[in-house]
């Protein structure tokens, strides 16, 4: 820790607060709130024009989540630096715990004091933090050496495989992709990347055998939805019908026939963007994707103006995490990717992904406030 200056210690708490407030990135906060409200409105529509059962809860969670995000934003970012190792171990422990005591057919959830908690979501933030801390720690010269990447790869694939074995292919792959993107970001040798891609390609048959039947089905059906138009292909066919029938301006808010008549599966969680596309059309969909892009670019832009490598990696990681969420979910609903089960952050109903994103953005805001390079 070698702060070049610590001007905050000389100031009163009151002026400190306002000084921090003025450094908040409001573009990020506004786009976040906008997307959260889009989520509330979509869930209201998904329930056929009712606050129950989803829209109300989502709004409450959103309010509390944003408050939590602001609290995090005002914490000094060194807190996350310190907590990174601990949070990662807690994350790994909960992933193991969830395998032992998890609820439901698919072991994803642990129940803590009446609240369902999905450790795999929190793991994403923990992974970003621990990778950032690791790379911040190793010497610059070592970054060129391959052996410095052995530990990070282990840190990535341990939670990754734990999550895939839950089984939750979507989240597991997200974790692995996220980790690998960070490795790529900090400058892992290009030759090694190519080598890894070759290894990956050649291990496809092996991975295929490790997959559960329903996961195999999903991928096969993705390649040809008509294979099972009433079974697992049904989701994607109906989703495409809903999106396609939306046209340029959509069928109108609350008027999406595909969702209203229950042709859309999971319309309040993974397929909520389909509902939006059906009701608001091409223009609506593009505006929402645009807001996401603004959010993601604003976050990633911060990584250029921070002093420490830790902050740089964390902001990039969280930005990339959001991008992964967005592209996996939307790519899935429009049939570009197989149905792997990925929520759309801030809009899909579900506490854990909302919380993960808000905590992540909170950390980014904190870094933005506390770790600015002095121009």
Partner 1 sequence: MKNISQRNLEKTISKRFFLLSIFKGGIVGAIGWRFFDLQMIENKKYEKLSDNNQFNYHMIAPERGRILDRKMRLLAGNMDGFSLVLNWNKNINVESIIKDILSVIKIDPKDLNNFFKEINSNKNEFAKEILITKNLSQKDVSKLAVRSIEFPEVSFLITKKRVYPQGIIAGHITGYIGPYSEKDTKINIKPHTSWIEVGKAGLEKFFDEELRGKFGRKRNEVTSKGHIVASQIYENTISGNDIQTSLDMGLQAFALERFEKGNNTLVSIKNEKIKKQIEKSKKINFINNDYVYKDKKNRIVNPESGSLIVMDIENGEIICSVSSPGYDPNIFSNDLEVNVWNNLKNNSRSPLLNRSMSGVYPPGSTIKMAVALAALENGIIDYNTKFYCDGAKKLGESTFHCWAKDGHGKLNLTEAIERSCDVYFYELGLKVGIDKIALMMKRLGLGQYYDVEINDKSKGVVPNIEWKFKRDGLQWSMGETLNASIGQGYLLTTPLQLTTMIARIANGKFSVTPTLMINRNKNRFKDLNINPQHLNFIKNSMERVVKGNNGTARNYQIGSKKVEMAGKTGTVQVVRISEAEREKGLVKNEDRPWEKRDHALFVGYAPASKPKYAITVVVEHGGSGSSTAAPIARDIFKHIFKV
Q: Indicate whether 323 belongs to the interface with partner 1 (CB under 8 A).
A: yes
Q: What does the chain come to in residues? A: 375
The Cα 288–Cα 301 span in angstroms is 20
Q: Where does this chain touch partner 1 (CB under 8 A) — which range of 10-18, 38-46, 86-94, 261-269? A: 261-269
Q: Which of 125, 330, 342, 365 binds partner 1 (CB under 8 A)?
A: 330
Helix crossing, 351-370 with 119-137: angle to 10°? Answer: 30
State both tokens at 38.
């889009």
Q: How far is CA 104 from CA 99, 114, 123, 236, in A?
A: 11, 15, 20, 24
Q: Which of 129, 155, 162, 186 binds partner 1 (CB under 8 A)?
A: 186
The Cα 24–Cα 9 span in angstroms is 19
- Identify the residue whose tokens are 């369902």: 116
Burial class (CB in 10 A: 0-12, 13-18, 19+), 211: middle
The Cα 173–Cα 271 span in angstroms is 19
Q: Indicate whether 184 belongs to the interface with partner 1 (CB under 8 A).
A: yes
Q: Indicate whether 98 belongs to the interface with partner 1 (CB under 8 A).
A: no
Give the DSSP per-residue string, 181-196: HHHHHHT--HHHHHHH
| Beta carbon of residue 217, minimum distance to partner 1 (angstroms, whole number) | 19
Q: Indicate whether 136 belongs to the interface with partner 1 (CB under 8 A).
A: yes
Subset of residues 11 to 70 that bind partner 1, contact rule: CB under 8 A:
none
Q: Where does this chain touch partner 1 (CB under 8 A) — which range of 63-71, 114-122, 215-223, 315-323? A: 315-323
Q: Which of 243, 299, 358, 363 binds partner 1 (CB under 8 A)?
A: 243
How far, in whole angstroms, is CA 105 from its chain's centroid? 23
Compute how many residues bind partner 1; rule: CB under 8 A: 55
Asked if 291 contacts 276 with a C-beta cutoff of 8 angstroms, the reply is no
Residue 262 DSSP class: T
Q: Which of 289, 294, 305, 372 binds partner 1 (CB under 8 A)?
A: 289
Q: Indicate whether 312 belongs to the interface with partner 1 (CB under 8 A).
A: yes
Q: Which of 11, 146, 229, 231 binds partner 1 (CB under 8 A)?
A: 229
| Beta carbon of residue 106, minimum distance to partner 1 (angstroms, whole number) | 24
Q: Where does this chain touch partner 1 (CB under 8 A) — which range of 14-22, 65-73, 206-214, 235-243? A: 235-243
Residue 261 DSSP class: T
Q: Give the binding site for partner 1 (CB under 8 A).
A: 1-2, 78, 81, 136, 140, 143, 181, 184-187, 229-230, 238, 240-248, 257-258, 261-263, 277, 281-282, 285-286, 289, 293, 296, 300, 303, 307-312, 316, 320, 323, 327, 330-331, 334-336, 371
């Amino acid at each position: 820790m070698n702060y070049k200056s610590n001007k905050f210690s000389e100031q009163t708490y009151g002026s400190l607060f306002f000084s921090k407030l003025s450094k908040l990135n409001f573009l990020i906060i506004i786009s976040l709130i906008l997307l959260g409200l889009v989520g509330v409105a979509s869930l209201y529509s998904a329930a056929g024009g009712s606050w129950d059962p989803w829209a109300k809860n989502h709004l409450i969670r959103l309010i509390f989540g944003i408050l939590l995000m602001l609290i995090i934003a005002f914490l000094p970012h060194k807190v996350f630096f310190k907590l990174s190792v601990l949070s990662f171990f807690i994350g790994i422990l909960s992933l193991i715990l969830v395998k032992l005591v998890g609820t439901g057919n698919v072991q994803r959830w642990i129940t803590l004091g009446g609240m369902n908690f999905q450790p795999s979501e929190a793991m994403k933030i923990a992974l970003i933090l621990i990778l950032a801390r690791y790379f911040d720690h190793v010497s610059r010269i070592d970054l060129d050496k391959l052996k410095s990447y052995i530990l990070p790869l282990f840190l990535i694939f341990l939670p990754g495989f734990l999550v895939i074995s839950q089984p939750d292919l979507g989240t597991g792959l997200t974790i692995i992709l996220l980790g690998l993107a960070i490795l790529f970001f900090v400058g892992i040798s290009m030759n090694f990347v190519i080598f890894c891609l070759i290894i990956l390609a050649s291990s496809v048959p092996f991975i295929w055998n490790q997959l559960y039947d329903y996961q195999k089905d999903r991928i096969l059906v993705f390649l040809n939805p008509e294979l099972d138009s009433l079974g697992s292909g049904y989701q994607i066919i109906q989703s495409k019908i809903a999106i396609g029938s939306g046209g340029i301006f959509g069928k109108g808010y609350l008027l999406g026939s595909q969702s209203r008549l229950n042709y859309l599966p999971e319309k309040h969680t993974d397929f909520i963007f389909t509902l939006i596309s059906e009701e608001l059309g091409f223009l609506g969909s593009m505006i929402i994707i645009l807001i996401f892009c603004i959010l993601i670019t604003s976050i990633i832009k911060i990584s250029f103006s921070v002093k420490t490598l830790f902050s740089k990696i964390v902001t990039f990681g969280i930005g990339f995490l959001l991008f992964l969420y967005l592209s996996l979910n939307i790519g899935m609903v429009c049939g570009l990717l197989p149905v792997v089960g990925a929520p759309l952050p801030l809009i899909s109903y579900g506490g854990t992904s909302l919380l993960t994103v808000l905590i992540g953005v909170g950390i980014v805001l904190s870094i933005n406030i506390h770790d600015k390079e002095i121009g």
